[in-house]
């Protein structure tokens, strides 16, 4: 138990704050300055692992964080990802923590172009949780997995004392297979790429908020939670090499997804704010609460970076799929201002779009 | 959100109790009567999944729960497992939640005969946790993974409000590759098999208890936490077909491991109580606390069911490996009393050994 000293950019925080889980700047700092150095340490470089089946990420340079790792194993490319779900409350309009836990992890695999194969389910239950509630969550997971054609293959259950887990938390990890010829990763976005959003943004976040805070925003709003691997398969069927980068804008919203891809690719992003599909109820809620819709989580949308020449084909394929029927092009990648995301506003000006620092909407997934 | 009715054996429990996470009878009931029906439901049978790479467990019949699932993927056999770690306190003599999270999941893969390839790490952090504590845990994970030659390939971080996660919880999931010719699973144990324990039992559980309760038991006790895949590789090098079943006796201890394999194999287990290596400090602590050493968790031991003809070779291979140098044979599998575990006592009698009903030592891993 040697002392541990926190490296520079984390030094202002001696303790974990909610923002460290928000998917924004603080989360990135935690990953880059705490987890990655710790996990890389210990003396054995990854590429020197002692078996000839040692997995190595086939595509990503160190530091370019993707939705899932892709490992070369015995001639296959396996995608592997994990997510814990702590959403509060457990049930909300349009879904529950059960659907989220399946869709979220399936979508992380899909955003590497992988065909999802199997999920694990690790439950942390609070003593006193009604078994009927657990049953409803498990059944929601079973239904969502069956609908997605993915198997819940292995599981684990722990119980902690009353007061310690807010009902339940669940982790799902997922494995998938990247088909030959598919190469989807954040750093493949290049200047000229067109940027497509698969549908209206922000509905998941506002749906959870509405029930959590007991607010009404002048209209029904339901979570957009959905599995996206079918949509991705349709896009890849239209063009395999032309689909460069995909991301599902969950915590931190569309703004964070665009910023992360801009940073990973070392390229600039420009989009027209008025083309981003924001449902009226999301717009009303964000106005009321002082939120930027670009920062509100979706759980059934993706943003795609597509080669210019393939844009029409990909848009057509998306619109022909139920999960992408409202897909629209919102902007493009530029060689200017690398790493920076710029929105063209309704007034003809521009503004820089950044990730939220920390946690705008805690416990949203 | 339709109503959910709990099937028979769970009907006496309307709510989650600590015992549901204890790895004993209640945990099994939760899996068999709540999770498996929910996860199997939804209309799509596993074998009818819509891709030609649909994974199926290559070995286990339904209901024979193993440490890891084995999936047939593109000509490979992938092992896949998950565990959440909620041990309290986070640091204890001999290790921390960090080592446990790596070793426990590596060992679940090893107990299917798999070579571990990669782990995921999903953190649930409590607001207010000192970053220095998180750093020490992450570094322990990094060191343990590097020592085991396993990559921490993907991760996730969520933060919950103060008071809701007891510092931190971590889930690790693992993938591994089952080498050709290896077939290790609980239902392969057959009458005549010899039963080998790899070393002294109970040290992990007593080490955690000692620091948690501030007790001293007349001697130092340190957790046995260790990765066992190297030991398993040495055993399989001695005989691939002769290693029938393996289990690491964690929650519920050696008794639970023996009972689960007896049940899965539909065979009886007999062992001589005096041959089970119980360190004096574990014996003293169990006497003081009224615990059965057979129910106390290990985190770096395994129990092996080995073909009679291969017993000497396997024992020799185990004793030549640092993780198995105290390996001993404790008993054998019999065609009598299928599913029942019988101990021969020091007084020449016999007693039936059962799993604990619920949680003898909560939050031990």
B91 at interface of A, judged by CB pairs closer than 8 A = yes
| Predicted pLDDT at B55 | 45
| Predicted pLDDT at B102 | 98
**Partner-chain contact A142 B53, CB within 8 Å:** no
Smallest Cβ distance to B82: which of A14, A27, A120? A120
How many Cα neighbours within 13 Å face the side chain of B229? 29
Tokens of B140: 């322990």
d(CA A102, CA A93): 17
A60 at interface of B, judged by CB pairs closer than 8 A = no
Average pLDDT over residues A159-187: 96
φ/ψ region of A252 (left if φ > 0, alpha if ψ in -120 to 50, else beta) reads left
pLDDT band at A10 (very low <50, low <70, confident <90, very high): low
The answer to whether the Cα torsion of A215, A127, B257, B357 is positive or negative is negative
B111 at interface of A, judged by CB pairs closer than 8 A = no
Smallest Cβ distance to A157: which of B20, B127, B152? B20
**Third-level CATH fold of A54-177:** 60s Ribosomal Protein L30; Chain: A; (3.30.1330)
Q: Which CATH number is B55-177 given?
A: 3.30.1330.10
| Predicted pLDDT at B280 | 95
A154 at interface of B, judged by CB pairs closer than 8 A = yes
d(CA B101, CA A187): 31
pLDDT more than 70, % of chain A: 90
Q: Dump pLDDT digits (tens) for A79-95.
A: 999 999 999 999 999 99
How many Cα neighbours within 13 Å face the side chain of B241? 1
Torsion angles phi and psi, residue B320, rounded to 5: -80, -5
Find all residues with CB under 8 Å of A102, minimum gap 6, and list them.
A119, A141, A144, A145, A148, A150, A172, A227
The residue of chain A with its CA nearest to that of B5 is A132
The residue of chain A with its CA nearest to that of B58 is A153
CA nearest to A324, candidates A150, A196, A223: A196
CA nearest to B175, candidates B72, B108, B78: B78
- Residues of chain A contacting B134 with CB distance shorter than 8 Å: 16, 34
* CATH superfamily of this structure's domain A186-353: PurM-like C-terminal domain (3.90.650.10)
Residue A255 and residue A294 in contact, taking contact as beta carbons nearer than 8 Å: yes
**Partner-chain contact A16 B155, CB within 8 Å:** no
Is it the case that residue A170 has pLDDT exceeding 50?
Answer: yes
Residues in chain A, total:
365
| Predicted pLDDT at A362 | 85
β-pairing, A168-177 vs A115-126, is antiparallel
- Low-confidence winner among A49-63, A174-188, B293-307 (lowest mean pLDDT): A49-63
Per-residue pLDDT tens listing for chain B (365 residues): 344 444 445 556 899 999 999 888 889 889 999 999 999 853 333 332 333 333 445 444 444 467 899 999 999 999 999 999 999 999 999 999 999 999 999 999 999 999 999 999 999 999 999 999 999 999 999 999 999 999 999 999 999 999 999 999 999 999 999 999 999 999 999 999 999 999 999 999 999 999 988 887 767 899 999 999 999 999 999 999 999 999 999 999 999 999 999 999 999 999 999 999 999 999 999 999 899 999 999 999 999 999 999 999 999 999 999 999 999 999 999 999 999 999 999 888 999 999 887 777 889 99
| Predicted pLDDT at A171 | 98
pLDDT band at A52 (very low <50, low <70, confident <90, very high): very low
Smallest Cβ distance to A13: which of B41, B78, B131? B131
Find all residues with CB under 8 Å of A11, minimum gap 6, and list them.
none
Shortest distance, CA A192 to any CA of chain B (angstroms): 30
Smallest Cβ distance to A151: which of B55, B130, B177? B55
Cβ burial A45-83 (10 Å sphere, 16+ → b, else e): ebeebeeebbbbbebbeeebbbbbbbbbbbebbbbbbbb
CA distances to A37, A90, B281, B292 from B288, in Å: 43, 42, 10, 11
CA distances to A154, A195, B95 from A103, in Å: 17, 23, 35
- Low-confidence winner among A63-77, A101-115, B299-313 (lowest mean pLDDT): A63-77
Smallest Cβ distance to A14: which of B16, B80, B130? B130
Smallest Cβ distance to B80: which of A124, A132, A175? A175
B118 at interface of A, judged by CB pairs closer than 8 A = yes
- The residue extents of the domains of chain A are 1-42, 54-177, 186-353
B1 at interface of A, judged by CB pairs closer than 8 A = yes
Fold: same for B55-177 and B186-353 = no
β-pairing, A268-272 vs A341-344, is parallel
> What is the distance of C-alpha B362 from the center of its chain?
15
- Residues of chain A contacting B57 with CB distance shorter than 8 Å: 153
Residue A206 and residue A221 in contact, taking contact as beta carbons nearer than 8 Å: yes
Shortest distance, CA B4 to any CA of chain A (angstroms): 6
**Partner-chain contact A135 B38, CB within 8 Å:** yes
Cβ burial B344-361 (10 Å sphere, 16+ → b, else e): beeeeeeeebbbbebbbb
E strand or H helix at A102, and its extent?
helix A97-110
Q: Dump pLDDT digits (tens) for A206-243.
A: 999 999 888 877 678 999 999 999 999 999 999 999 99
Token look-up 């964690």 returns: B250
Q: Dump pLDDT digits (tens) for A285-305.
A: 999 989 999 999 999 999 999
Interface test with A, best of B78, B171, B250 (most A CBs within 10 A): B171
d(CA A197, CA A77): 27
CA nearest to B254, candidates B360, B95, B175: B360
| Predicted pLDDT at B62 | 43
Is it the case that residue A153 has pLDDT exceeding 80?
Answer: yes
| Predicted pLDDT at B217 | 76
**ipTM for the whole complex:** 0.92
Per residue, the 3-state secondary structure of A217-262, as one string, reads: CCCCCCCCCCCCHHHHHHHHHHCCCCEEEEECCCCCHHHHHHHHHH
| Predicted pLDDT at B48 | 28
CA nearest to A155, candidates B39, B58, B228: B39
Q: Dump pLDDT digits (tens) for A241-285.
A: 999 999 999 999 999 999 999 999 999 999 999 999 999 999 999
**Partner-chain contact A39 B154, CB within 8 Å:** no
- Residues of chain A contacting B119 with CB distance shorter than 8 Å: none
A232 at interface of B, judged by CB pairs closer than 8 A = no
**Partner-chain contact A154 B20, CB within 8 Å:** no
φ/ψ region of A214 (left if φ > 0, alpha if ψ in -120 to 50, else beta) reads left
Token look-up 């590429």 returns: A47
Residue A304 and residue A234 in contact, taking contact as beta carbons nearer than 8 Å: no
Smallest Cβ distance to A16: which of B22, B129, B173? B129
Is it the case that residue A330 has pLDDT exceeding 90?
Answer: yes
Average pLDDT over residues A27-42: 85
Residue A172 and residue A119 in contact, taking contact as beta carbons nearer than 8 Å: yes
| Predicted pLDDT at B65 | 60
The residue of chain B with its CA nearest to that of A109 is B154
A65 at interface of B, judged by CB pairs closer than 8 A = no
| Predicted pLDDT at B59 | 46
DSSP bridge partners of B268: B334
- Residues of chain B contacting A150 with CB distance shorter than 8 Å: 49
């Amino acid at each position: 138990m040697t002392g541990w000293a926190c490296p520079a950019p984390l030094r202002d925080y001696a303790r974990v704050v909610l923002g460290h889980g928000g998917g924004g700047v603080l989360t990135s700092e935690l990953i880059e300055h705490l987890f990655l150095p710790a996990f890389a340490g210990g003396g054995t470089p990854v590429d020197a692992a002692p078996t000839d089946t040692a997995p190595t990420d086939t595509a990503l340079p160190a530091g370019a964080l993707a939705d899932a790792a892709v490992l070369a194993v015995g001639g296959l490319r396996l995608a592997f990802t994990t997510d814990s779900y702590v959403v509060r409350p457990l049930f909300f309009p349009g879904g529950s923590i059960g659907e989220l836990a399946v869709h979220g992890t399936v979508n992380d695999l899909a955003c590497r172009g992988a065909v999802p194969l199997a999920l694990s389910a690790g439950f942390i239950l609070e003593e006193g949780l009604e078994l009927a509630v657990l049953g409803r969550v498990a059944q929601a997971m079973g239904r969502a997995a069956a609908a997605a054609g993915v198997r819940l293959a292995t599981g684990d259950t722990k119980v902690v004392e009353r007061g310690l887990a807010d009902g339940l938390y669940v982790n799902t990890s997922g494995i998938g297979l990247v088909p030959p010829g598919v190469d989807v990763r954040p750093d493949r976005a290049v200047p000229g790429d067109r940027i497509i959003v698969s549908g209206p943004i922000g509905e998941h976040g506002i749906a959870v908020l509405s029930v959590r805070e007991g607010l009404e925003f002048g209209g029904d709003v339901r979570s957009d939670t959905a599995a996206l691997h079918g949509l991705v398969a349709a896009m890849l069927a239209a063009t395999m090499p032309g689909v460069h980068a995909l991301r599902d804008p969950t915590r931190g919203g569309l703004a964070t997804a665009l910023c992360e891809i801009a940073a990973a690719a070392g390229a600039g992003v420009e989009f027209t704010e008025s083309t981003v599909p924001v449902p009226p109820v999301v717009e009303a809620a964000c106005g009321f609460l002082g939120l930027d819709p670009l920062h509100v989580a979706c759980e059934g949308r993706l943003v795609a970076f597509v080669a210019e020449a393939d844009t029409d084909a990909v848009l057509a394929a998306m619109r022909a799929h139920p999960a992408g029927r409202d897909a629209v092009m919102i902007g493009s990648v530029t060689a200017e201002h690398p790493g920076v995301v710029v929105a063209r506003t309704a007034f003809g000006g521009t503004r820089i779009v950044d990730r939220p620092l920390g946690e705008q909407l805690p416990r949203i997934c």
